Amino acid sequence: MESNDLTKKYYRIREVSELLGVAASTLRYWEQEFPRLKPTRNAKGTRYYTPGDVEVLRQIKYLVHDKGLKIDSAKEQMRVATDSVATRTRAIERLQAVRAQLVSLRDSLTRLK
């Protein structure tokens, strides 16, 4: 799901966790490590992430999980090359969506034979 597919104004941590496939504890940890990530909190302390926050989390996930960078290296990448990280993250999401469609078409064609 791309960032322009996010329709709500705010997302709870559970929703973001499911969207990204990352544990809620990991999101809380990243919140401590990455200064750009500042979800809004209500009086009870419940975190509410904006679509912009979700985009930052996607970038962090790309750097840490997909590229295999350590947290310090990922922080440096986010600080120095934010635009290129965002562009790569969006490109990878699009490619994964295209791949899923192609696999679905291949499976449909296989069933027709």
Q: What is the pLDDT of residues 35-70, one digit of tens each?
A: 888 899 999 989 999 999 998 999 899 889 988 999
Domain ranges across the chain: 3-112
Quote the CA–CA distance of 2 and 70 in Å, as a whole number. 25
Quote the CA–CA distance of 82 and 14 in Å, as a whole number. 26
pLDDT at 39: 92
Phi-psi region of 21 (alpha: psi -120 to 50; beta: other; left: phi over 0): left
Give the mean model confidence (pLDDT) for residues 13-35.
Answer: 93
Confidence of residue 11 (pLDDT cuts 50, 70, 90): very high
Dmax of the chain from CA atoms? Answer: 59
For the structural domain made of 3-112, what CATH number should be given? 1.10.1660.10
